[in-house]
């Protein structure tokens, strides 16, 4: 079994040191094949906050990392930098690639930069971004779990969160499902949940799941949800007809000072027959 660790919205500058330390221990214990950092890495996009985030990431060890910026990772009050060099501080800490891709025997993970300097907090995905991701998914093998990563959500569970939906999400969900995507990971609203988009949009033609993460370590807790991360596990079974994965939600337990699993979703994915291949 191989695993992916999703860390979202740590908001360095508001991080809880004990929670950050517990998360590093969890990562070392679980030894994920890849780590996804799905945006809002910092609170105010300062050099000091990015440096703290980089030190934390370095502590994860030699594991592939896919990081994308969130709306908080663009300077808010420094308008000149925001408009002229919005990702300069992000690039200094995490490199020039704003839309990383991870491909291995069991994983096809495509991360998209959904921030826009002219938007305060809303996210957007362009037709070009949608198509680039779709072309990747269409070339994936049946053994690969195909995952898109955005900061803002493509699906929500509460009417009050609909204003936070990613602009262009409806077209993206349909196109990615058509191309063979299995999961869309997101953050932004600090509320963890798993939603079957194929039950909401019955014309998708195959299963597509939205997996949202809470804030990993910030004091910016919402909706009575504590600090949490997700672990996605690719399941393998001889002779299986449908592909499967497990999404585990791990919450920080205050009394124990550790992360512990609190919810497990066993997801049925598209079958081998309907999985687009290379």
Element (H, E) at 60: none
Sheet of 242-253: strand order equals: 65-68, 34-38, 2-7, 228-235, 242-253, 258-271
Instruction: Please identify which residue in the block is written with the tokens 């930098």.
Output: 81
Please give the distance of CA 72 from its chain centroid, rounded to a whole number: 15
Nearest to 228 by CA among 253, 203, 204: 253
The per-residue pLDDT of the chain, averaged, comes to 93
Over the chain (278 residues), what is each successive 10-residue block's mean pLDDT?
95 98 97 97 96 97 96 82 84 97 97 90 96 97 95 96 96 97 97 95 91 97 89 78 90 97 95 54
Q: Which two tokens stand for residue 26?
A: 């969890």
pLDDT at 118: 80
Measure Cα distances from 80 to 42, 98, 124, 187, 255 in Å.
Answer: 19, 20, 22, 27, 45
Confidence at residue 273, expressed as pLDDT on a 0 to 100 scale? 52
Rounded to whole angstroms, the Cα distance separating 217 from 219 reads: 7
Q: Where are the alpha helices (DSSP H) in the chain?
A: 17-30, 47-58, 79-84, 88-94, 127-138, 169-179, 197-200
pLDDT of residue 242: 73
pLDDT at 275: 52
The confidence score (pLDDT) of residue 1 equals 73
CA angle, 107 then 109 then 110, to 5° = 155
pLDDT given for residue 278 in this prediction: 46
Q: What is the rounded CA–CA span in Å between residue 65 and residue 58? A: 10
Q: Are 243 and 219 in contact (CB under 8 A)?
A: no
Residue 276 pLDDT: 54
Residue-wise pLDDT for 110-134, tens only, equals 999 999 988 778 999 999 999 999 9
Give the residue from 9, 4, 1, 39 showing the smallest Cα distance to 230.
Answer: 4
């Amino acid at each position: 079994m191989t695993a992916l660790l999703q860390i979202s919205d740590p908001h360095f500058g508001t991080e809880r040191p004990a929670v950050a330390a517990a998360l590093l221990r969890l990562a070392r214990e679980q030894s994920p094949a890849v780590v996804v950092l799905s945006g809002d890495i910092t609170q105010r996009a300062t050099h000091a906050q990015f440096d703290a985030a980089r030190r934390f990431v370095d502590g994860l060890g030699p594991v592939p990392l896919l990081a994308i910026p969130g709306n908080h990772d663009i300077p808010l009050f420094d308008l000149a930098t925001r408009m002229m060099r919005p990702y300069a501080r992000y690039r200094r800490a995490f490199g020039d690639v704003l839309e990383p891709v991870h491909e291995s025997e069991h994983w096809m993970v495509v991360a998209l930069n959904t921030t826009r300097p002219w938007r305060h907090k809303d996210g957007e995905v362009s037709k070009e971004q949608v198509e680039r991701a779709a072309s990747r998914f269409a070339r994936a093998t049946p053994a690969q779990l195909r995952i898109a990563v955005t900061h803002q959500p493509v699906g929500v569970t509460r009417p009050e969160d609909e204003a936070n939906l990613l602009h262009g999400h409806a077209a993206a969900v349909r196109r990615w499902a058509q191309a063979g995507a299995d999961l869309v990971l997101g953050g932004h609203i600090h509320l963890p949940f798993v939603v079957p988009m194929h039950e909401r949009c019955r014309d998708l033609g195959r299963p597509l799941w939205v997996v949202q993460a809470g804030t990993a370590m910030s004091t910016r807790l919402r909706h009575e949800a504590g600090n949490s991360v997700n672990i996605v596990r690719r399941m393998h079974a001889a002779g299986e007809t449908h592909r499967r994965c497990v999404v585990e939600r791990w919450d920080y337990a205050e009394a124990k000072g550790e992360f512990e699993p609190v919810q497990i979703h066993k997801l049925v994915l598209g079958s081998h027959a309907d999985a687009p291949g290379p």
